[in-house]
Structure 1
C-alpha cells in the first residue's frame, strides 16, 4: 500500500483548532517535510490549492503558498518521490496548465502529477472576478471533462483542435511533450458525479477517511463501479489524520486535546460557503462540521503498532491503493512515522 503526505501548504496544516500546533507555511517547512518523507520511503506528496481562508481565531488557511511553484521547487529538492500539485480550474486555461505541468515533469524527471480541483468555494473565485456564475455548480464536471481533454491532447501529441461547449482550440501547440506523453491525474470530488469524473479521467481518487472505515469501503465500491463502466483502472487514496504516540492512551489524549480547541468560527464560515453549492453535493458531503474541527477527516490514532494495524486494515479494503496522511507537527510526525509505524506495517511494498 502506498503512503503519501498532504503537505502543509496552508497555515496550521489541516487542524482547525486553537490547541493544535500553530505555524505558517514556508518553503523550508515543506522542503524539510518532503526530504524527510523521501528518506522514510513515502511514495507521494500532494499540495492543495486554496485561494482564500476561513478566518476564525486561528486565521485558518488565510496564509497559503501557491501549489505549482512550490512543487516545482520541491521537484528540484527531491529525487524519487511522486509530486502532485493542485489546479483550481476556473483560474487558469488548460493549455497553460498543460505547459506548466510539462515543465515540472522535466524538472522532476517524470515524477509530477496534477490534482484536478473543479472548484466549489465561490468566494475564492468571485474575489478575483473569476467566478463563472452559479451555473458552474451544476456543470463543473462537464467543464472539467473538456479541460482535461485539452490537456491530454497537448501532452500526447503536442497539438489540440478540441471543440467543445466551454473550450475551443485553434491548432493549439505545445512542445515539448511530457516524458511519457501523459501526466497522472488525481481527483477528490466526493459526490457520485465526482467519482464518475475521476473514473473517466483520473488515476487515483482521494476519499475522505472515516473512523470505522465504512465510508472508505462504500466510496471505494462506488468508484470501482464507475471505473468498470469506463473500462479504466482507478485506485483509491484514503485521507486520514495520523496521530501516533508511545501508547494508545497518549495518542487519544492528544487527539482529544486538539478537538477541544476547535475553531468554531472558521468552521462556521467554511460550512456557510459549502451551503452555497446549489447542486447540494458539497453541503451533503461536508456534514456536522460545526461540532467538528478537521473537515470531517477520520483519524488513525494510537500506539505505533495500533496505527500500523489500522493502516494495514485500510489496505485490505478492495480498491484502496494507499493512504494520504495529515499530521499535526509535520517534520516530527513524518520522521516518527518512518521510524516507528511503517516498519511495522504488513501492507508496505518491498523496497
Structure 2
C-alpha cells in the first residue's frame, strides 16, 4: 500500500500553531554553541538527551531535528566531534514520544538511498507517521573523504541528491520490484517493503540558487540561515523560497530557521549569559575552522562586522538570536511570523534547563499572543 501524503500525523505540516517550534542539534556535542563552558550540552548523555526531547513532546513542540556530524572541527571543544547517529537517534526518539515530528538528518553521499529509504519507512512505522528526512548534500570535505569519496563540486552535489531522492521515492511508493539506472546508481530488481505510513516530510537547508531550487522542487520545508534580522530583509529572503516553489513547481513550501536562546528577567542578564560562554569560553579555533570550511570570506566585512559574525557563530551557529526577557521572545517570534516564517528550531547552552524555563515563562505568553495554542497531549501513535 502506498503511503499517504497529507501528513495528517506529522505536526511540522499539520500543526495549527502560527509559529511552530522545534528542538535542534541536541544529538551533537555543544548543540549549536561553539564553546567550552562547563555547562555546555553533552551529546553522549542519552538520558538527558531523551528527557529534553520528551519535555518538548509534552509541551507540543512540532519537531526534533538532529544535526548530521561525523567529525568535529578541532579546537579545545572539538565542536560536533561527539554525536549520536541520526537514524538510530530518530528511531529511539520515535519510540519514546507521542506527537513530535521525529526527523533524521542524512548526508546523502554517505548512505545508499535504498538502505536509507528502508530505515525511513521503519522509523515512520515506529512513530506512527511522524517521520521526516533532513537531506544534506555534504559540504564538509573531511567528512566526505572519511567515506572513501572525494568532495563533489557544489552543483554536482545537488544532482546526486536528485538521483538519490528519486530512488528513495520509488522505494516509498512503487509496488513490487523496480529498476533504476542513472549516472550515480544502477539498481536491478530493487524492492522495499513495508512502505511508510506517510511519505516522509522532506527538509533541506540549501541557500545557494541551486540549493533553493532543490528545496522548492522536492522539499516540504526549507531550513534557512537568516541574512537579515529586520522585518523587510527577512520577508524578502523568505518570499524568494516560497515564490520559487509556488511559481515554478506549484508547491507550498514551508520555511523554518533556527535560534539560540537566552531568557532572563532583563535583557542585560540574558545578554551577559551569552557573552560569558562566547567571550570567556568560546572556541576560536573551532570557529575559524568552520568559517574556512564554509568558504565564508570575512574580508567582505569591516573588522567590527567580522567580529560580530564570529560572535553569533560561537553563540549558536549564527542562528537568529532569541536573547532577552520572556516578553521579548514573543516580540521576536511575532516578527518572524510576520515575515512569513513558519517555524523556529531552538537551541540552548544547557538544553534541559533551558527548555524547562522556556515552557514555564515563554509558552504561556506565546499562547496569549496567539502564536501558539494550548497543548493537547495525545496518546502514543505507534503503529501495530
Establish whether residue 339 from structure 1 lines up as the match of residue 356 from structure 2.
Answer: no
Establish whether residue 85 from structure 1 lines up as the match of residue 104 from structure 2.
Answer: yes
Distance 1:61 1:215 in 2: 30
Distance 1:283 1:165 in 2: 34
Matches within 5 A, 1:172-211: 172-180=190-198, 182-209=199-226, 210-211=228-229
Distance 1:214 1:340, change over 3 A: same
Q: In the alignment, which residue of structure 2 is the partner of 1:316?
A: 338
The one of 294, 301, 314 aligned to 2:323? 301
Which sections of structure 2, spanning at least 5 residues, go unmatched? 1-18, 376-384
Residues 208 and 216, structure 1, Cα contact 8 Å, conserved in 2: no
Distance 1:85 1:265 in 2: 29
The one of 246, 259, 268 aligned to 1:240? 259
Residues 240 and 324, structure 1, Cα contact 8 Å, conserved in 2: yes
Q: In the alignment, which residue of structure 2 is the partner of 1:128?
A: 147
- Listed one character per residue, the Cα deviations across residues 174-203 of structure 1 (whole Å, up to 9, x for unaligned) are 0110113x1111111121211110111111
Residues 114 and 167, structure 2, Cα contact 8 Å, conserved in 1: yes
User: How far has the Cα of 1:350 moved from its partner?
Assistant: 5.3
Residues 72 and 78, structure 2, Cα contact 8 Å, conserved in 1: yes
User: How far has the Cα of 1:138 moved from its partner?
Assistant: 2.9
SS in 1 for 2:180: coil
Distance 1:330 1:130 in 2: 35
Moved more, 165-174 or 47-56: 165-174
Distance 2:310 2:358 in 1: 30
The one of 294, 297, 321 aligned to 1:274? 294
User: How far has the Cα of 1:290 moved from its partner?
Assistant: 4.7
User: How far has the Cα of 1:221 moved from its partner?
Assistant: 1.3
Distance 1:149 1:36 in 2: 36
- Listed one character per residue, the Cα deviations across residues 204-231 of structure 1 (whole Å, up to 9, x for unaligned) are 1111245435554232111012202111
Q: In the alignment, which residue of structure 2 is the partner of 1:348?
A: 372
Q: In the alignment, which residue of structure 2 is the partner of 1:278?
A: none
Q: TM-score, normalised by structure 2?
A: 0.83
Distance 1:147 1:322, change over 3 A: same
Residues 232 and 339, structure 2, Cα contact 8 Å, conserved in 1: no
The one of 13, 20, 39 aligned to 2:31? 13
Q: In the alignment, which residue of structure 2 is the partner of 1:169?
A: 187
Q: Across the two proteins, how many residue pairs are aligned to each other?
A: 340
Residues 12 and 21, structure 1, Cα contact 8 Å, conserved in 2: no
Q: In the alignment, which residue of structure 2 is the partner of 1:59?
A: 78
SS in 2 for 1:166: coil
Q: TM-score, normalised by structure 1?
A: 0.91
Distance 1:157 1:283 in 2: 45
